[in-house]
Structure 1
Amino acid sequence: MKAVLFDLDGTLIDTAADFVRIIQQMCREEGRALVAPELIRTQVSEGARAMVKLVYPELQLEDPVFLAHRQRFLDMYGADIAVDTDLFDGMYPLLEQLEAQDIPWGIVTNKPRWLSEALLKALNLTERCAVLVCPEDVIRTKPDPEPMYLAAKQLELAAEDCIYVGDHPRDIDAGRHAKMTTILAAYGYLPLQYKDDLTAWQADYIVDTVAELQRLIQKLLVQRQTAVS
Structure 2
Amino acid sequence: MIKAVLFDLDGTLADTAPDLGAALNRLLVEEGRAAQSMDAIRPVASHGARGLLELGFGITPQDAQFCALRERFLDHYEQGICEGTTLFDGITELIREIDSRGLQWGIITNKPMRFTDPLVQLLPLPIAPQTCVSGDTVGIPKPDAKPMLHAAAELGVDPAHCLYVGDAERDIEAGRKVGMKTVLASYGYISEFDDTASWGADLNINHPLELLVHLGQSEV
What's the TM-score, normalizing by structure 1?
Answer: 0.88
Q: Structure 2 counterpart of 1:118, which letter?
A: P
Does residue 4 of structure 1 match 2:5? Answer: yes
What runs of 5+ residues in structure 2 fail to find an aligned partner?
none
Distance 1:49 1:97, change over 3 A: same
Structure of higher CA gyration radius: 1
Distance 2:105 2:50 in 1: 29
Partner secondary structure for residue 135 of structure 1? coil
Contact 1:187–1:209 at 8 Å: present in 2 too? yes
Partner secondary structure for residue 193 of structure 1? coil
Quote how far apart the aligned CAs of 1:67 are. Answer: 1.4
Distance 2:56 2:143 in 1: 27
Partner secondary structure for residue 183 of structure 1? strand
Distance 1:131 1:32, change over 3 A: same
Aligned residues: 218
Q: Structure 1 counterpart of 2:53, which letter?
A: V
Distance 1:145 1:209, change over 3 A: same
- Structure 1 stretches of 4+ with a deviation exceeding 3 A read 124-127
Tell me the residue number matched to 1:198.
Answer: 196
Tell me the residue number matched to 2:215.
Answer: 220
Quote how far apart the aligned CAs of 1:64 are. Answer: 4.7
Quote how far apart the aligned CAs of 1:48 are. Answer: 0.7
Give the alignment of 1:74-223 within 5 angstroms: 74-125=74-125, 128-194=128-194, 197-213=195-211, 215-216=212-213, 219-221=214-216, 223=217
- The structure with more helix, counted as a fraction of residues: 1
Partner secondary structure for residue 75 of structure 2? helix
What's the TM-score, normalizing by structure 2?
Answer: 0.92
Quote how far apart the aligned CAs of 1:71 are. Answer: 0.6
Quote how far apart the aligned CAs of 1:136 are. Answer: 1.9
Q: Which moved more, 1:116-125 or 1:69-78?
A: 116-125
Contact 1:120–1:126 at 8 Å: present in 2 too? no
Quote how far apart the aligned CAs of 1:192 are. Answer: 4.4
Quote how far apart the aligned CAs of 1:30 are. Answer: 2.2
Q: Residue deviations 1:46-98, cap 9 Å, x none?
A: 121220222221x4524453211111111111111100101101110101111
Distance 1:100 1:127, change over 3 A: closer
Let me know the Cα RMSD of the aligned residues: 1.9
Contact 2:172–2:200 at 8 Å: present in 1 too? yes
Quote how far apart the aligned CAs of 1:28 are. Answer: 2.3
Q: Residue deviations 1:169-210, cap 9 Å, x none?
A: 11001111111110000000014431xx32211000001112
Contact 1:117–1:126 at 8 Å: present in 2 too? no
